[in-house]
Amino acid sequence: MSDEKPFEQQMQQQLKAGNEPAWRRYALLTIGKPLPGALLRYELITGLLCNFPGMLGYWLRQKLYRYILGSSGKSFIIGRNVTIRGGMKIEIGSHVSIDDNVVIDARGEKGSIKIASGTLISRNTILRARNASITVGEGSDIGANCILATDSRLEVGKDVLIAAYSYLCAGGNHAYDRIDIPIIRQGFVSKGGVVVEDDVWIGSHTMIMDGVRIGKGSIIGTHSMVNKDLPEGSIAFGQPATRQGSRTTYPDGKNND
């Protein structure tokens, strides 16, 4: 995976569009398109229901939030104070549970987020796709206070466990080659994003760097930093993470059986 061309931060591009009316810029950041009717619907639904308490609040959000999303399945749960941006580009499957204070942000013309059925997203977690795509496979569990962010692509497979405080950084590293302008104005450089294949367990406080693929069935130890690909069934940990064994072989070479 490789894409070394710098690109400007999406929010900065929109904020600099001084010829655009304020409501259009706000609509692009919140619903993804400058449509007055859709923006009014978004404001009414989120304004009334975002913090509505109790079982009635859960029920109302389940019934009405589907009108601010691109698509949604049956029986999904959305907690209190969940922020949805670019909702027309967000797809949520059936039996998805999104806990309190989660941010789901699909920004830019090419931004999209797809959360498959049976997925759990715990509180305070952020999913942010800036002019890029995030997909989360069926039955995956994303812990509290995680960040899944991309400017290219981020793919999480089926039945993946991501423990609390983990950061999947799929693109968006600042370019810094020039010294005549500030780093913040040089845009971003992407190595192609992050792919986490099915049945992976990522320990807490772990960082997965841009350009990495983690093979199916792998385990990443807590407080690790993964900056290179790991083959299927790996057991890895450390900063940077190194492969210490596999799901079939212990580090000393003995078979698990």
Which band of pLDDT confidence, cut at 50, 70 and 90, is reported for residue 4? very low
DSSP, res 186: S
Nearest CA-CA partner of 212 in 165, 247, 251, 173: 173
Nearest CA-CA partner of 211 in 236, 186, 189, 241: 189
Does some domain include residue 189?
A: yes
Total number of domains in the chain = 1
Does some domain include residue 184?
A: yes
Distances (CA, A) of 189 to 106, 122, 174: 19, 29, 6
Which band of pLDDT confidence, cut at 50, 70 and 90, is reported for residue 257? very low
Sheet strand arrangement including 201-202: 77-78, 97-98, 120-121, 141-142, 161-162, 201-202, 219-220, 234-238, 241-246
Does some domain include residue 49?
A: no
> What does residue 217 show for φ and ψ, rounded to 5 degrees?
75, 15
**What gap in Å lies between CA 35 and CA 240, rounded to an integer?**
46
For the stretch 73-87, pLDDT in tens is 989 999 999 999 999
Does some domain include residue 205?
A: yes
Continuous segment of H or E residues that includes residue 84: strand 83-85
Q: What average pLDDT does the segment 170-178 reach?
A: 82
Which band of pLDDT confidence, cut at 50, 70 and 90, is reported for residue 13? low
Would you state the torsion angle of the CA atoms of residues 79, 84, 87, 91, taken in this order, to the nearest 10 degrees?
-50
Quickly count: other Cβ atoms within 10 Å of residue 2's Cβ: 7
Question: What's the distance, CA 229 to chain centroid?
Answer: 20
> Residue 89 belongs to what domain range?
69-245
Angle formed at CA 106 by CA 143 and CA 191, multiple of 5 degrees: 80
Beta pairing partners, 153: 133
CATH code for the domain of 88: 2.160.10.10
**What gap in Å lies between CA 52 and CA 199, rounded to an integer?**
35
pLDDT at 27: 87
The pTM assigned to this predicted structure is 0.86
Query: For residue 186, which amino acid is it?
Result: Q
Cβ atoms 139, 162 nearer than 8 A: no
Q: What average pLDDT does the segment 83-108 reach?
A: 95
Does some domain include residue 256?
A: no
Does some domain include residue 132?
A: yes
Does some domain include residue 24?
A: no
Does some domain include residue 190?
A: yes
